[in-house]
Amino acid sequence: MRFVCSIADFRGWRAHARRPLGFVPTMGALHEGHGRLIDEARAASASVAVSIFVNPIQFNQSEDFARYPRPLEADLAFCAERGVDVVFVPPLEQMYPQPQATFVEVGGVADHMEGQFRPGHFRGVATVVLKLFQIVQPDRAYFGEKDAQQLAVIRRMVQDLNLTVEIAGVPTVREPDGLALSSRNRHLNAEERAIAPRLYQALRAAQQSIAAGETAAEAVKRAARDVLAAEPRMRVEYLEIAGDAEMQPVESVAAPVCVAAAVWVGRTRLIDNVRCQPPVRPENSAVQS
């Protein structure tokens, strides 16, 4: 496995890499969720590249950026065990050699939920992902469905800017109790970790409400809020039902939707989502005369 830090060295490796090239962009602190992305890339690609870069322009709070875990040695071992061909770990001065004056703004799909509560977040995400795409030049890039809105933002950017990379979404990996794997989970203490799965339980309650035939978005959200309300140590930032593709809030569930939420457990912010498919209603048969 190669380990490179400079853009020039990465491009030198890429010039001789076998195609297709699968790419997994990460911020490090790798876990089995990232492992699933790498495995999917490995199964479909002749070469696999992973990037590790904690991107400062997507953080709203300097404290959150400073707290983000950076276990580089363990991350490199993780990648080696998964059969990664090259790990690109650029320092800040490589990615942003001067103050950034050009940014990527994705409208519509980025406006609600995370976009509302973390202003500028998706601008930072889209900008760094486009920069990485320009450096890596992958044939396919892999993103987790746990960050459903981020995945939708990246897909829309690729479509609107006519990029040639294919975007592959990979299902969320969960602990046995349902908690979605996240690098931020390591910030939870034992008590907080014990209550964190309630977020997924609330989303499952919404999912079951839709499966049972409920179409009013407020009623579905109420089913989820009732689960969250039973845990006073969990503070809800948002709970929303949005169209599966454009991430726009809906009032009625008539097509596949994403039920997404962000909650605070202590000082740790957790996000999760589930996709929901309303039951198929058979059309009324014509009455024979």
List beta partners, residue 134. none
Among residues 185, 147, 258, 169, the alpha carbon closest in space to that of 30 is found at 185
Catalytic residue among 16, 34, 112, 187: 34
Spell out the alpha helix ranges (H) of 98-147.
Answer: 114-117, 121-136
Q: Tell me the C-alpha distance between 285 and 105, whole Å.
A: 48
CB atoms within 10 A of CB 163: 16
Distance from the Cα of residue 205 to its chain's centroid:
22
Enclosing H/E stretch for 168:
strand 166-170
Closest listed residue to residue 272, CA positions, set 156, 195, 173, 192: 173
**Residue 34 annotated among the catalytic residues of the structure:** yes
Q: Give the active site residues.
A: 34
